[in-house]
Structure 1
Amino acid sequence: MKKLYKSTLYLSALAISASIFSACTNSNNTGSDTTSSVQRDSLIDYVARRLPIYEKVKLTTNINQLSVNDRKILPLLIQAAEIMDELYWKQAYPQRDSLLATVKDEKTRDFININYGPWDRLNNEKPFVAGVGAKPEGASFYPYGITKEEIEKSDLADKFGAYSVVQKDSTGKLSTVPYHVLFAAELQRASSLLKQAALIAEDAGLKKYLNLRADALVTDHFTASDYAWMDMKTNGLDIIIGPIENYEDKLFNARTSYEAYVLIKDKEWSKRLAKYVKMLPELQKNLPVAAKYKAETPGTDSELNAYDVVYYAGDCNAGSKTIAVNLPNDEKIQQEKGTRRSQLKNAMQAKFDKILVPISKELIDADQQKYIKFDAFFTNVMFHEVAHGLGIKKTITRKGFVREALKEQYSWLEEGKADVLGLYMVTGLLKKGELQGDIKDYYTTFMAGILRSVRFGVSEAHGKANMQCFNYFQEKGAFERTSKGTYKVNFDKFATAMNDLSAFIITLQGNGDKVAVEKAQKEKAIISAELQQDLDRLTRKNIPVDVIFEQGVDVLGVK
């Protein structure tokens, strides 16, 4: 079955590789050496323009805070994460080796590696290598060229499974293959590494989680390990690993991609954050939406923790880099126990210093630049993650969970909900005296954060969410674009727009109205020509769009 998957998945690989080869070498396929040379130069020129949008950052932390055993565990976790990176390549672009073999320019190879393929993830998935065509919406989760209708009409029991791929044999018959079968060898190696780490682990919670997660990788049964992960309280090390997010599946938003974060807990910061989770039920009751859309009670066993991240792999390392994580995604666990919101403090600080502050100096009104502060940025991001736990998980129209009802429209709307409800929570907690600071800091920094995130493009869930917020807030007069081409927040109207957009999104989710969500995306998740001109100014000023990491055992100084 594994062999069948490879043959169907690579069906177009030879044609694609041949086309890439003609575009990147002196092949006569284009008609002349001059033509292929022009194509080569065009590719090199594009990469030369795009590569500088990434700022290189070293992922380090003070490992002296770790015990001797934890320092022994760290390299094992990084090795397991590296395997997740290889698996993500197989999901996102299985033809990596054949593509890289045809590309001699080192910077182009670097750009391919950053994007996990030949599509520019921060430029609306634009293909930057000749011959590859548009990025398949279903990545490699589905047979090449298959339509949504074919999948929907099929009698596959696991047609929308999170941990399987759909295959088509030579007769056209569809079947599914579980990840743990498809990637058996790689997952067994990763599982063994986690087992080795568990043998050394001193913290009982970490030991239990590592063992259960090791078992989960080779069975695709993740529930027990998710519970164990939620139960960990005293660990210093952590690893988030496995097939988790479904952003890469743009066909149905169903199938998950492999990724890993290796984390070191900042226990002092985490202690400061712990109190906010207990406030979730009260915040839920006060949501600015009709009572039937806020009847659910959010779990209060959730945790807020701050970490230094020392390794990214796979999905979380592709395109825009994640700076906070809210897991597990299982709605049943969320309702019963809540989630863990992990703030990646060192990565967050890097984005603030290298990107958000320079953007603010260019695009935020001079009189309001004094309100751009890291504590506000950290808090806004933190409550974005907390806000995933608020609102509604099950539709009120008997369409099941919101995720199931909205399918490929779910992720971007959920990210939009978290953005605006996070700000709603900040506003409420400031009024109650549970947060310190000036509301102007939080609102202005939020505005700058939108201008940072929309540069990721609207092909990505967070980019769509930010553009919806930008356009909605602009219509409500929450900010104005001044004659100098800068943005100035109207603090009173900002709060009103926040409440109105919160109600709008939660209502869409609660109704499970996929058609209405599609309409909202087409109307609001777009970048206007005026805004694009402003974003282009940032590019001309050489302000990076995102970061890439120097990471690994050598950077950390562990063996």
Structure 2
Amino acid sequence: MKHISKANLFIAGCSIIAGIASCTNPQGNSNDQNKKTSLVEDSLQKYVDERLAIYETVKLTTNINDLTVSERKILPLLIQAAKIMDELFWQQAYPQRDSLLNSIKDEKTKSFVWINYGPWDRLNGDKPFISGIGPKPDAATFYPTGMTKDELKNSDVKDKYGLYSVIKKDSTGKLSSVPYHILFATELQKASSLLKQAALLAEDEGFKKYLNLRADALVSDNYTASDYAWLDMKTNNLDIIIGPIENYEDKLFNARASYEAYVLVKDKVWSKRLAKYVSMLPELQQGLPVEAKYKKERPGTDSELNAYDVVYYAGDCNAGSKTIAVNLPNDEIIQQKKGTRRSQLKNAMKAKFDKILVPIANELIDKDQQQYINFDAFFANVMFHEVAHGLGIKNTITGKGFVKEALQEQYSWLEEGKADVLGLYMVTGLLKKGELEGDIKQFYTTYMTGILRSVRFGAASAHGKANMQCFNFFKENGAFIRNDNGTYKVDFLKFENSMNKLSRLILTLQGNGDKVAVEKTQKEKAVISAELQSDLDKLTKKGIPVDVIFEQGVDVLGVK
């Protein structure tokens, strides 16, 4: 791992971060200077102390007695491979980690660096919390420092917007791309070897095939065959999602993928309950509340909807807000041909429900509606969010190619917003058809509470932006009212109408591939008002966590 020296990490003198203070007199009295620096450090320390408290620690465990002897031997190998993904994500997000940590004396600040994979607070708009660290660069480490969008666009680089490469600039200013499998060759070879070892022990043939193909993919950057093999798995008890997957960290183009891993143990009982819903996608697609041209695609149905206990998070998925459900692969062609696998991370989901969502409801939901807060409704809302990624439109109707390509850095937040509202649309439709049990009031009230939970992830998060948009849109359309005491009350009829209107808006924006219109929508709707922020501050004052961090690994699981 390459490290930048301590001298390069910290700007000399008095560069002060996050709007807390600034220093404009470098020639001034050194005692005054020291006092100012001390005040800033004290302020930052207070900030870290307060922000560290927003996380609740959760142990990631499962019943290993349900696993075979060979599966218990496989788990440590998968966790070792996942740890390598964690190291690779550090190299992508903040390769100066060790130099930074060595310069910090306070243990709480070190802990906060580990949580955020760097010196920027991911759940507070990437605000710097280390003195001397500037704003987080949109380019991360995927592009040369100072490179403009036009500079790459006008270059002759073949792999300009590739998922699995970085852009480098030589001494003459010429740009080129370097594939991940070359840049991270040593680490990826180790991870590949661990997956091969796990494959030798695997009893399930589908899982064995996937592990071998994924091992090959890590060292070649060719993930297609392993993605298909992953979708073909039906009878596996263990699973690992591993590799460069999501684009959230690349805020310049939303093009390049970051490394992550989840190690999973299937919950067979819940998975069986979920199996029927994927087959209903084509019918639900046709019923979408939008013009026919925006729903002409047929979603793939040859995929699975499963529930898992997650026993290890690594890399991108462990940074900032923790994922509680996964819809993969992201490849639009594979999605259209084969579908996706929707993985519900049930133990992590239950932890967030108990420790975060219920306390939020007790504080911010109308007293008469608190009775409708329900884990099965929360589980279904999250589950159908992931299923809903398969609905809608992947190709623009305006000849601009895939929606993702047309919207670039504006894609992720709008896609998450689409999945949120279409997931609710699916719940509503399935309840009316008698295919889902429960009271619509439970789903809508729990969804409303879920919005209040997720907006706390902040403007730096795609999920945070999506929920801000939903909150503001629903408010404008009367889907809920804010009582005089600061609690929220759902209007169930207007909630459904607002859901349909927002679904139509998002699907139209995606289908048109109109990036300018999406940017305008983000600036107008994906914002937190002063009133909402005041209500969210109540949650912090009450000590209600924003998110979770994990105790995880072989020792926690009891496997060696």
Alpha-carbon separation, structure 2, partners of 1:485 and 1:21: 41
Instruction: State the partner residue of 2:279.
Output: 278
**Residue 14 of structure 2 contacts residue 37 of structure 2 at CA under 8 Å; is this kept in 1?**
no
How far residue 14 of structure 1 moved from its aligned partner, in angstroms, is 4.3
Identity of aligned residues (%): 76
User: Residue 443 and residue 22 in structure 1: after superposition, are their counterparts in 2 closer, same or farther (change >3 A)?
Assistant: closer
Alpha-carbon separation, structure 1, partners of 2:7 and 2:301: 52
Letter in 2 for 1:470: F
Alpha-carbon separation, structure 1, partners of 2:11 and 2:466: 38
**Residue 11 of structure 2 contacts residue 133 of structure 2 at CA under 8 Å; is this kept in 1?**
no
Instruction: State the partner residue of 2:462.
Output: 461
Instruction: State the partner residue of 1:168.
Output: 169
Instruction: State the partner residue of 2:133.
Output: 132
Could you tell me which of 16, 25, 33 is aligned with 2:9? 16
Alpha-carbon separation, structure 2, partners of 1:266 and 1:13: 47
**Residue 444 of structure 2 contacts residue 495 of structure 2 at CA under 8 Å; is this kept in 1?**
yes
How far residue 173 of structure 1 moved from its aligned partner, in angstroms, is 1.0
The within-5 A match list for 1:138-537 is 138-537=139-538
How far residue 149 of structure 1 moved from its aligned partner, in angstroms, is 1.8
**Residue 20 of structure 1 contacts residue 130 of structure 1 at CA under 8 Å; is this kept in 2?**
no
How far residue 89 of structure 1 moved from its aligned partner, in angstroms, is 0.3
How far residue 131 of structure 1 moved from its aligned partner, in angstroms, is 1.3
How far residue 40 of structure 1 moved from its aligned partner, in angstroms, is 2.8
SS of the residue 1:297 aligns to: coil
SS of the residue 1:459 aligns to: coil
Letter in 2 for 1:196: Q
**Residue 264 of structure 1 contacts residue 308 of structure 1 at CA under 8 Å; is this kept in 2?**
yes
Letter in 2 for 1:476: N
Where does the alignment leave 5 or more consecutive residues of structure 2 unmatched? 18-25
State yes or no: 1:549 paired with 2:550: yes
Alpha-carbon separation, structure 2, partners of 1:208 and 1:13: 45
Deviations 1:298-338 (A, max 9, x none): 00112100000000000000000000000000000000110
Letter in 2 for 1:120: D
Instruction: State the partner residue of 2:58.
Output: 57
Deviations 1:509-533 (A, max 9, x none): 0111111101110110000000000
**Residue 20 of structure 1 contacts residue 129 of structure 1 at CA under 8 Å; is this kept in 2?**
no
Q: TM-score, normalised by structure 1?
A: 0.96
Alpha-carbon separation, structure 1, partners of 2:27 and 2:263: 46
Deviations 1:52-110 (A, max 9, x none): 00000000110110000000000000000000000000000111011001001111000
For these two proteins, the number of residue pairs brought into alignment is 549
Alpha-carbon separation, structure 2, partners of 1:178 and 1:278: 38
Instruction: State the partner residue of 2:20.
Output: none
Alpha-carbon separation, structure 1, partners of 2:205 and 2:86: 28
User: Residue 98 and residue 509 in structure 1: after superposition, are their counterparts in 2 closer, same or farther (change >3 A)?
Assistant: same
Alpha-carbon separation, structure 1, partners of 2:422 and 2:112: 35
SS of the residue 2:481 aligns to: strand
**Residue 259 of structure 1 contacts residue 316 of structure 1 at CA under 8 Å; is this kept in 2?**
yes
Alpha-carbon separation, structure 1, partners of 2:392 and 2:51: 38
How far residue 13 of structure 1 moved from its aligned partner, in angstroms, is 7.5
How far residue 150 of structure 1 moved from its aligned partner, in angstroms, is 1.4
Instruction: State the partner residue of 2:21.
Output: none
Deviations 1:446-502 (A, max 9, x none): 000000000000121000000100000000000000111000000000000000100
How far residue 154 of structure 1 moved from its aligned partner, in angstroms, is 1.5
Alpha-carbon separation, structure 2, partners of 1:500 and 1:23: 45
Letter in 2 for 1:262: V
How far residue 401 of structure 1 moved from its aligned partner, in angstroms, is 0.6
Alpha-carbon separation, structure 2, partners of 1:346 and 1:469: 26
Alpha-carbon separation, structure 1, partners of 2:7 and 2:77: 36
Letter in 1 for 2:369: Q
Instruction: State the partner residue of 2:121.
Output: 120
Q: TM-score, normalised by structure 2?
A: 0.96
User: Residue 370 and residue 29 in structure 1: after superposition, are their counterparts in 2 closer, same or farther (change >3 A)?
Assistant: farther
Instruction: State the partner residue of 1:76.
Output: 77
Where does the alignment leave 5 or more consecutive residues of structure 1 unmatched? none
Letter in 2 for 1:447: M
Structure with more helix by fraction: 1
**Residue 392 of structure 1 contacts residue 506 of structure 1 at CA under 8 Å; is this kept in 2?**
yes
How far residue 19 of structure 1 moved from its aligned partner, in angstroms, is 4.8
Letter in 1 for 2:78: L
RMSD (CA atoms): 1.7
How far residue 248 of structure 1 moved from its aligned partner, in angstroms, is 0.3
Deviations 1:117-159 (A, max 9, x none): 0000000100011111100001100011222221222221111
SS of the residue 2:113 aligns to: helix
How far residue 44 of structure 1 moved from its aligned partner, in angstroms, is 1.6
SS of the residue 1:243 aligns to: strand
Deviations 1:413-469 (A, max 9, x none): 000000000000000000000000000000000000000000000121000000100
Alpha-carbon separation, structure 1, partners of 2:429 and 2:476: 23
How far residue 228 of structure 1 moved from its aligned partner, in angstroms, is 0.3
**Residue 6 of structure 2 contacts residue 103 of structure 2 at CA under 8 Å; is this kept in 1?**
no
Alpha-carbon separation, structure 2, partners of 1:312 and 1:200: 22
**Residue 324 of structure 1 contacts residue 341 of structure 1 at CA under 8 Å; is this kept in 2?**
yes
SS of the residue 1:394 aligns to: coil
Alpha-carbon separation, structure 1, partners of 2:218 and 2:73: 22
**Residue 479 of structure 1 contacts residue 487 of structure 1 at CA under 8 Å; is this kept in 2?**
yes
Alpha-carbon separation, structure 1, partners of 2:489 and 2:287: 29
Deviations 1:11-69 (A, max 9, x none): x9743245599989xxx999444344333322221111110000000001101100000
**Residue 260 of structure 2 contacts residue 316 of structure 2 at CA under 8 Å; is this kept in 1?**
yes
User: Residue 19 and residue 365 in structure 1: after superposition, are their counterparts in 2 closer, same or farther (change >3 A)?
Assistant: farther
Letter in 2 for 1:15: N
Letter in 2 for 1:433: G
**Residue 56 of structure 1 contacts residue 550 of structure 1 at CA under 8 Å; is this kept in 2?**
yes
SS of the residue 1:543 aligns to: coil
Alpha-carbon separation, structure 1, partners of 2:7 and 2:78: 35
SS of the residue 1:275 aligns to: coil
